[in-house]
Amino acid sequence: MPELPEVETVRRGLIGPLEGRVLARVRQYRPDLRWPLPADFAGRLTGRRVERLDRRAKFILARLDDGQVWITHLGMSGRMVLSRDVTLPPGPHDHVVIETDGGDIVTFNDVRRFGMMDLVPEDELPEHFLLRDLGPEPLGNAFNDTVLSAALAGRRTPIKAALLDQKIVAGLGNIYVCEALYHAGISPKRLARSVAGKRAARLVPAIRDVLDRAIAAGGSSLRDYVQASGELGYFQHDFAVYGREGDPCRSCGKPVTRIVQSGRSTFYCGACQR
């Protein structure tokens, strides 16, 4: 599933085609994705101007000129594909196609249909069931070692599981949690409560650095993910531990270990991470 850097990369790729543009024609080819699309979804989008594109966790938020917010989650395989060729027929997995007054075509393609879209009034956004319980943005000013320490205090779950909890910090997924824990020198098996304090002070900048570098590289192209431009992200070539089971650690040379935590693969160096 695309994580924060991939979603942020897509958002940035959509700013040019969408921000400030009128959604001149909207075509909807099915009534649902993961959940049913809103009633008259295509009709309510048609003619609206996109005032601003934001991101919250793994959600893209298009703020419209009528006070509505168009929410998009890419799910496991969703892609926003850009084109300017109006003659191309929709493919079997093209579910929503949007033409702007600037001549750009944005197609939401989702093979597995685990993505979602919704339309909600701006003033109801904070209480939307998918957004209301999210923790702070890891790249925002509200996320720091004091906040993280308070969120981890007393928690007996492994730190890896705690960081995947979107109520603790928003937008992190399996890949970048593994990478951040490695760069902070913290074992993924360590109890979350023991990370509060000095370890949290190491972990917060590690999380920020990993995310910043991944965004700069255009995300990680794993399985179905590509950028809105169709280009691949390259951060997977910079992975320190993720997907490198048995390979030498780049710091100490000992083999990278893979374990399973809560049904997810965890990669780490047992010598460097304590």
C-beta separation of 60 from 129 below 8 A: no
Note if 126 is an active site residue. no
Closest CA to 45 of 70, 14, 77, 67: 70
Q: Which long-range contacts (CB under 8 A, 24 or more apart) does 209-212 make?
A: 209/183, 210/176, 210/179, 210/180, 210/183, 211/4, 211/5, 211/138, 211/139, 211/176, 212/139
Please confirm, yes or no, whether 58 is among the known catalytic residues: yes
Largest CA distance in the chain: 59
Q: Is position 137 annotated as part of the catalytic site? A: no
Q: 58, 79, 160, 244: which one is catalytic? A: 58
Question: Which residue numbers are catalytic?
Answer: 2-3, 58, 264
